[in-house]
Amino acid sequence: MVTPPSTPAEALPAELADATRDDRSLRRFLHGLPGVDRVGLEQRAAGLATRSIKKDAKRWAIDTAISMVDLTTLEGADTEGKVRSLCAKARRPEPGYPDVPPVAAVCVYPDLAATAVAALRGSGVRVASVATAFPSGRAALPVKLADVEHAVAAGADEVDMVIDRGAFLAGRYGQVFEEIRAVKRACGDAHLKVILETGELASLDAVRRASWLALLAGGDVIKTSTGKISPAATLPVTHLMLQAVRDWRDATGQLRGVKPAGGIRTTKDAIRYLVAVHEVAGPEWLTPELFRFGASSLLGDLLMQRRTQLEGRYSAAHHVAVD
């Protein structure tokens, strides 16, 4: 998002550009990535999760986490009214505490993007729209692209696409790559988040390959999940994706983002993710430009914990507005 790679392949170092030359090169490259040992990764994630974040560091983490939230509503029953209410909360999460930062974005279905755009105008809060036949991704490419174009035309600043897991798992990497490229083009100036749906990718090796595939194809952000299937985001998977953007930075100098989505509900969880961002990718990723939480209920808990920190006593859910 800092340096949007408009023509990714050309901007890449030779060995990465080579990797995307054709289907076989892509396969060779992705399968040549170092393997991932699940036990080791999970152990590292669990180890870092024991960090004890207190006092000032905790307050900073809460505000930072708030500023990274993609406040999300992706229900069939969504209404314009609900989206407007969500946007109001996104702009000013807690009216009683004006120093609470706005969230990063509001994330909706394409048909509600225009509503969100209108409600957020001038706030700095971005509008993200899911697209490409979210959440299944099961549609013909022209339909997916039309979906994206519709969202962009409605004013979405960010597009959250889903990859074709069927093609990916079948080893048709070139097809997935081209699809992401096409979506990226359709996005125009909008930033592209590529949802890997890691809960369907079966192995961590596949998550690493999908991460690199999305980065090679020009995704600005790699995102774990649609939130529609379980497991959604997990700490180990997010660790792995943070390693991918870190390695991408080391290889290209470009900074790309990560967005865990689904299942992150508490401040404690959010802080564990921030610790991972801090220590796995690095401090420069501790910004809404490069890290987001896809979540709906997390914001409420962050606000409640923020009150607890400031007021020195425990707060309660009914003191925080529910969307």
Partner 1 sequence: MTEPWDYAPAPESRDVAGLRDSYRMFVDGEFVEGSGEPLTTLEPATGQPLAEVSTASGADVDRAVRVARRAFDEVWSRMPGAERAKYLFRIARLIQERARELAVLETLDNGKPIKESRDSDVPTAAAHFFHHAGWADKLGYAGFGPDPRPVGVAGQVIPWNFPLLMLAWKIAPALACGNTVVLKPAETTPLTALVFGDLCRQAGLPPGVVNVLPGAGDVGAALVDHPGVDKVAFTGSTEVGKRIQAAVAGTGKRLTLELGGKAANVVFDDAPLDQAVEGIVNGIFFNQGHVCCAGSRLLVQESVAEEVLAKLRDRIRTLRVGDPLDKNTDVGAINSAEQLARITELADSGEAEGAQRWTSPCRLPERGWFFAPTVFSEVQQSMRIAREEIFGPVLSTLTFRTPEEAIGKANNTPYGLSAGIWTEKGSRILWAAQRLRAGVVWANTFNRFDPTAPFGGYQESGFGREGGRAGLEAYLDV
Partner 2 sequence: MSDEHTRERLAVAKTYKLAIGGAFPRSESGRVFPVRGADGAFLANAAQASRKDVRDAVAAARGAFGGWSGATAYNRGQVLFRIAEVLEGRRDQFAAELTAATGTAATAAVDAAIDRLVWYAGWTDKITAVLGSANPVAGPYFSFSVPEPTGVVGVLAPTGSPLLGLVSAVAPVIATGCTCVVLAAEDAPLPAITFAEVLATSDVPGGVVNVLTGRVAELAPWLAAHADVNALDLTGASEELRPELERTAAGTVKRVLPVRGTPDWYRDPGLHRLRAVTEIKTVWHPIGT
Residue where the block lists tokens 């000032």: 56
282 alpha carbon, distance to own chain's centre: 17
In the complex with partner 1, the residue whose CB is nearer, 17 or 57, is 57
Cα angle: 122, vertex 127, 130; to 5 degrees: 170
**Cα–Cα nearest to 164, from 142, 184, 145, 138:** 138
For the chain, helix (H) and strand (E) counts, in that order, are 14, 8
Kindly state whether residue 21 participates in binding partner 2, applying the rule CB under 8 A: no
CA distance 259 to 224: 6
Kindly state whether residue 49 participates in binding partner 1, applying the rule CB under 8 A: no
In the complex with partner 1, the residue whose CB is nearer, 22 or 37, is 37
**Residue 202 contact, options partner 1, partner 2, none, Cβ 5-8 Å cut-off depending on partner type:** partner 2
Kindly state whether residue 278 participates in binding partner 1, applying the rule CB under 8 A: yes
Kindly state whether residue 38 participates in binding partner 2, applying the rule CB under 8 A: yes
Smallest gap, in angstroms, from Cβ of residue 134 to partner 1? 30
The neighbour count for residue 3, using CB atoms within 10 Å, is 12
Kindly state whether residue 65 participates in binding partner 1, applying the rule CB under 8 A: no
Cα angle: 161, vertex 163, 167; to 5 degrees: 160
Select which of 70, 157, 160, 164 is catalytic.
Answer: 160
Kindly state whether residue 207 participates in binding partner 2, applying the rule CB under 8 A: no
Residue where the block lists tokens 């009914």: 318
In the complex with partner 1, the residue whose CB is nearer, 53 or 108, is 53
Select which of 144, 184, 193, 259 is catalytic.
Answer: 259
Q: Provide the 3-class DSSP secondary structure of residue 10.
A: helix
Question: Given candidates 143, 202, 310, 317, which one binds partner 2 under the rule CB under 8 A?
Answer: 202
Select which of 220, 223, 269, 301 is catalytic.
Answer: 223
Kindly state whether residue 40 participates in binding partner 2, applying the rule CB under 8 A: yes
Instruction: Name the strands in the sheet holding 221-223, side by side, starting at the edge strand that comes first in the sequence.
Output: 257-259, 221-223, 191-195, 158-162, 126-130, 105-108, 69-72, 293-295
Q: What is the DSSP string of 35-69?
A: P--HHHHHHHHHHHTT----HHHHHHHHHHHHHTE
In the complex with partner 2, the residue whose CB is nearer, 20 or 243, is 243
Smallest gap, in angstroms, from Cβ of residue 229 to partner 2? 18
Long-range pairs, 277-283, Cβ under 8 A, ≥24: 277/242, 279/48, 280/48, 280/239, 280/242, 280/243, 280/246, 281/242, 281/243, 281/245, 281/246, 282/246
Contact yes or no for 236/264 (Cβ under 8 A): no
Contact yes or no for 110/154 (Cβ under 8 A): yes
Kindly state whether residue 41 participates in binding partner 1, applying the rule CB under 8 A: yes
Does the active-site annotation cover 259?
yes
Kindly state whether residue 96 participates in binding partner 1, applying the rule CB under 8 A: no
**Residue 57 contact, options partner 1, partner 2, none, Cβ 5-8 Å cut-off depending on partner type:** partner 1
Kindly state whether residue 299 participates in binding partner 2, applying the rule CB under 8 A: no
Kindly state whether residue 267 participates in binding partner 1, applying the rule CB under 8 A: no
Contact yes or no for 222/214 (Cβ under 8 A): yes
Element (H, E) at 108: strand 105-108
Which residues between 226 and 255 bind partner 1 (CB under 8 A)? 243, 250
Smallest gap, in angstroms, from Cβ of residue 54 to partner 1? 5
Does the active-site annotation cover 160?
yes
**Residue 61 contact, options partner 2, partner 1, none, Cβ 5-8 Å cut-off depending on partner type:** partner 1
**Residue 54 contact, options partner 2, partner 1, none, Cβ 5-8 Å cut-off depending on partner type:** partner 1
Which region among 96-104, 228-236, 278-286, 300-308 touches partner 1 (by CB under 8 A)? 278-286
In the complex with partner 2, the residue whose CB is nearer, 2 or 46, is 46
What residues are labeled active site?
A: 160, 223, 259
